[in-house]
Structure 1
Amino acid sequence: MSVNLTKVAKVARKYEYVLILMRHAKTEKNADDDEHRELTDKGRKQAKKVAKALDGMGMVPDVLAVSGAKRARQTADRLLKIFGDKPEVTYHKRLYTDGMSEVSQIFSNLKKKKKIVMIVGHEPTMSEAAQWWSHANAQDSAFDMLQLGLSPASCVILAAHKPFNQWDLHEADVLAVVTVKDCD
């Protein structure tokens, strides 16, 4: 099932706050140390496609919070080639080690004026965070996809009317789960 990015962008404009949770792009399979795994050529292309799609949707983030793992940093580097200097970029080693705890910490520190926030991290943390903040609608196929986890370079787009630091359990609407194929 393909996602209509134009429709998602139109719906997103109705909300004051948008969160994009992205799993890093495709990585090499074998490395001596998981934290230092690198993106493959395919992964670099994936990250660029996603960045172009988000830019085309008018969803360049104000804040880009990135895991300290090498593959997440490399994904962010590719995103920034398209996004330019707009996002305020922060790196969080604990996104790799502490998962949801660090995602919650990032949220609690966000200023009200930041309207679009993107976090580049890992599975299962990204899909868990999306499930934590999203409304669970029994007929929502996007929510069902979150329970399966995110494939490399996939994004979950959530939105709400409250500032991020006021989000609580099931505060946001899931606007879409966007895969690389949706960005073609």
Structure 2
Amino acid sequence: MTRTLLLMRHAQAEDGAGTADFDRPLTDRGRAQAEAVGRLLVERGYRPDHVVCSSALRTRQTLEGVLAAMGHEPEVDHTEAAYLAGPESLLELVGYVDPEVNTLLVVGHNPTIAQVASSFVGPEALAAFSPATVASVELEVEWLYAAPGTGTGHILG
């Protein structure tokens, strides 16, 4: 059974002057970007069963915009572990997902999201992951075994 991993970088956030990085909110443009991604996912036929989202404010706000535009309410895990996770740690979080989940959306931060995406898509993903970018990866293994080389992907857009 093929599983779909959607890797999304949060939408554009405020620069954070005077605000802790964890608490940076989205800009108006970022809110529009998040909604545009939700519409894109619907157009492409993606419907996540589950979401792993960094608990930082900008990722939570990004996810809210995406799901509102989709009109969809999957199960969501907000986790601080995704906030500062490196690529291996992020894939470890993916490995904990219930095997019954077919489509997983991960909303996180660069450089980690771009690094994980590039391990499936190719090195061009590193340069292409501006705010609100999404990659789709078709995995040929269960979530527990998700790792570079276990699937192929492309950047949506």
- TM-score normalised to structure 1 length: 0.78
| Cα distance in 2 between the residues matched to 1:172 and 1:24 | 23
| Counterpart residue type for residue 83 of structure 2 | Y
Question: Is 2:133 aligned against 1:154?
Answer: yes
Q: Secondary structure of 1:97's partner?
A: coil
Following TM superposition, the consecutive aligned residue runs of length 4 or more in structure 1 with deviations greater than 6 angstroms are none
Tell me the residue number matched to 1:143: 122
Q: Which 5+ residue runs of structure 1 have no aligned equivalent?
A: 1-14, 135-141
Q: 1:127 to 1:117 in 2, by over 3 A?
A: same
Match of 1:30 in 2: 16
Aligned length: 156
Describe the SS at the equivalent of 1:107: helix
Residue 85 to residue 49, structure 1, CA distance change in 2 (3 Å): closer
Q: Which amino acid aligns with 2:62?
A: T
Deviation, 1:151, is: 0.1
User: Which residue does the alignment assign to 2:28?
Assistant: 41
Quote how far apart the aligned CAs of 1:104 are.
2.4
Instruction: Show the counterpart of 2:46.
Output: 59
Aligned counterpart in structure 1 of residue 148 of structure 2, from 169, 173, 178: 169
Distance in 1, Cα, partners of 2:24 & 2:31:
13
Which stretch has the larger CA shift, 41-50 or 83-92? 83-92
RMSD, aligned α-carbons: 1.7
Letter in 1 for 2:86: G
Q: How does 1:92-107 map to 2 (within 5 A)?
A: 92-107=79-94
- For 1:106 and 1:83, the matched residues in 2 are separated by 24
Compare 153-162 and 80-89 and name the one that shifted more: 80-89
Paired with 2:85 and 2:46, the residues of 1 have a C-alpha distance of: 27
Q: What is the one-letter code of the residue matched to 2:53?
A: V
Aligned to 2:64: 77
- Classify the secondary structure of the residue corresponding to 2:123: helix
Native 8 Å contact 2:10 2:107 kept in 1: yes
State the match for 2:77 in structure 1: 90
Which stretches in structure 2 are left out of the alignment for 5+ residues? none
- Give CA-to-partner distance per residue, 1:100-131, whole Å, 9 cap, x none: 34412322211221111010000000011123
Q: Could you tell me the percent identity over the aligned residues? A: 28
Separation of aligned partners in 2, 1:168 and 1:85: 28
